[in-house]
Amino acid sequence: NPVILWLRQDLRLHDQPALVSAAQAGPVIPVYVLDDEAPGRWRMGAAQRWWLHHALNALGEALAAKGSRLILRRGSAVRELQKLADETGASAIHAIRHYEPWWIDAEEKLGERLCLHDGNHLAPLRDVTTGSGGQFKIYSAFWRALSERMPPEKPLPVPHSLPAPDHWPSSEKLSGWDLLPTNPNWATGFAPDWTPGEAEALRKAKDFAEEVGDYPARRDMPAVEGTSRLSPHLHFGEISPRSLWHALGSGANAAKFHKELAWRDFTSSLLLAMPDYGDRNGRPAFDKLKWRKSAADLKAWQQGCTGYPIVDAGMRQLWTTGWMHNRVRMIAASFLIKHLLIDWREGERWFWDTLVDADYGNNSVNWQWVAGTGVDSNMWGRIMAPLGQSEKFDAGDYIRQWVPELRDVSDAQIHDPEDRPNGYPEKIIGHREARERALAAGRAIR
Ligand code: FAD
């Protein structure tokens, strides 16, 4: 009997333990199910759908080169997989384990038919626990425990070929899924920056290995390519974190990068303890915080028109390319939450829809970390000064790239131009006023 290989955020052939096990068990039917039901309000956002379209195309071609195929189905993954198993007489479903709550739920529903494999994280996260067996709430403690298990296992090679079933089940057409934007096509700025797929992910990792020694010094400078830009590839599982770890070597050069990569494991691990982290404050005291409701301010932030050049540059980079530099994500998120006093969940939703790397664990944990509402931080009173941050991390090149109105402004003026040229807006709120308002809101819930 054939076996089903259920692919989700693990769209690759290398280091694919589910694929290797499936191929040992019998003819393999690889399937991707576009499930917009199980995640509920966390169904994939628009930028991710753009990525997914191209990623599935690439994966289909890679499977074809191995004498196999990618079967596409749409609907509830549990229902579609059960249907496919009945149609084909498949004896088992092999899949890599994921930690989004809707996937854990689906995995439970599939029951004994499902064979789960670890492989999308550096270690099996149910085993990385505190002395009392619970999940870590603080990254530094998580990292200490994870490091004891590092380096991760060696990645598995790509099988030479995949045994095919005698009869292929029917597949939907990718073009029928309408994953790409049409009218208007807001994704024209994505293609120059991104090539979804495993081949590109591996190529980028190889290139980055040459530069990883510069990572500690350059990773906070948004104007340079000082980080790997592998986040969407990692989110969709086009490269496994184990192979990335090993590709970068084990020396001191890679140590800082390994530690950042482990954040991804930490956020997934936190979801095991707090599956609704994307919706609910990690610190319940914040349920009483009086957020402002201002559609106009939210829109100004989303569109990069706050009058703070570094914030606006970041928000426009996000809209144009589907990605934003980590340092600027922190500044922009802090600005929405503290300066505009708008609920972090509004920002989280916007990122969810606009990031190509939107990831339930990474997004929610980072938003709550910046807000100070999370279990891993208590930083409501630490209010990032956008102008100070801008001066520290950008010499002006990043701002000039993304805010063309300010292209001709001098270095001395670029972070906070006195004259606002070419219709660039005045500051939406003064820093001191915003800071006092945020601190007062924090005091009110104590
Ligand atoms: P690199 O510096 O090259 O890091 C390599 C990889 O390590 C990343 O691709 C990522 O998988 C992981 N990583 C690094 N930093 C973090 C971090 N702080 N938290 C979790 N994983 C990390 N990252 C996402 O992948 N998806 C998100 O939806 C997301 N939302 C964020 C929201 C906010 C408000 C903030 C402040 C950060 C968010 N991040 C998110 C984390 C981080 O900004 C991105 O992972 C990083 O910018 C991706 O660029 P890179 O691949 O070049 O990173």
Q: Which residues contact 225 (CB under 8 A, 6 or more apart)?
A: none
- pLDDT band at 312; cut points 50, 70, 90: very high
Edge to edge, what strands does the sheet with 28-34 contain?
A: 71-74, 28-34, 3-7, 93-96, 114-117
Q: Is the pLDDT of residue 366 over 90?
A: yes
Residue 350 a catalytic site member: no
What are residue 92's phi and psi, to 5 degrees? -155, 160
> CA angle, 326 as apex, 320 and 327 as ends, to 5°?
110
Report whether 379 contacts 423 (CB < 8 A). no
- The kind and range of the H/E element at 241 are helix 241-247
CA 346 to chain centre: 17
CA distance 297 to 159: 53
CATH of region 1-120, choose from 3.90.330.10, 3.40.50.620, 3.30.420.40, 3.30.43.10: 3.40.50.620
Percentage of residues in the chain with pLDDT exceeding 90? 97
Specify burial of residue 433 (Cβ count, 10 A radius: 0-12, 13-18, 19+).
Answer: exposed
Q: Per the CATH hierarchy, to which homologous superfamily does domain 284-444 belong?
A: DNA Cyclobutane Dipyrimidine Photolyase, subunit A, domain 3 (1.10.579.10)
Sign of CA dihedral 140, 142, 135, 107: positive
- Residues 375-402, mean pLDDT to the nearest whole number: 95
The arrangement of secondary structure in 121-152+195-275, i.e. its CATH architecture, is Alpha Horseshoe (1.25)
pLDDT tens sequence across 199-208: 999 999 999 9
Q: What is the pLDDT of residue 251?
A: 81
211 lines ligand 1 (CB under 6 A): no
**Cα dist. 324→64, 143, 338, 343 in Å?**
34, 25, 19, 20
Quickly tell me which residue has 């379209």 as its tokens: 53
Other CB atoms within 10 A of residue 249 CB:
15
- The kind and range of the H/E element at 74 are strand 71-74
- pLDDT band at 183; cut points 50, 70, 90: confident
Catalytic residue among 153, 172, 211, 260: 260
- Residues 3-31, mean pLDDT to the nearest whole number: 98
Residue 51 a catalytic site member: no
Catalytic residue among 367, 369, 380, 402: 367
Name the DSSP letter for residue 144. H
Catalytic residue among 194, 344, 350, 369: 344
CA of 328 to the centre of ligand 1 (A): 11
Name the DSSP letter for residue 337. I
Residue 362 a catalytic site member: no
Report whether 334 contacts 384 (CB < 8 A). yes
Sign of CA dihedral 227, 233, 234, 239: negative
- pLDDT band at 252; cut points 50, 70, 90: confident
- Residues 219-246, mean pLDDT to the nearest whole number: 98
- pLDDT band at 379; cut points 50, 70, 90: confident
pLDDT tens sequence across 97-146: 999 999 999 999 999 999 999 999 999 999 999 999 999 999 999 999 99
Sign of CA dihedral 18, 19, 24, 27: positive
Instruction: Sketch the domain layout of the chain as residue ranges.
Output: 1-120, 121-152+195-275, 284-444
CA distance 67 to 334: 50
- The pick from 120, 200, 231, 267 for probing ligand 1's pocket by mutation, whose C-beta has the most ligand atoms within 8 angstroms, reads 231
Q: Among the listed ranges 54-68, 240-254, 428-442, which one has the minimum average pLDDT value? A: 240-254
- Residues 391-409, mean pLDDT to the nearest whole number: 98
Residue 367 a catalytic site member: yes
What are residue 257's phi and psi, to 5 degrees? -65, -45
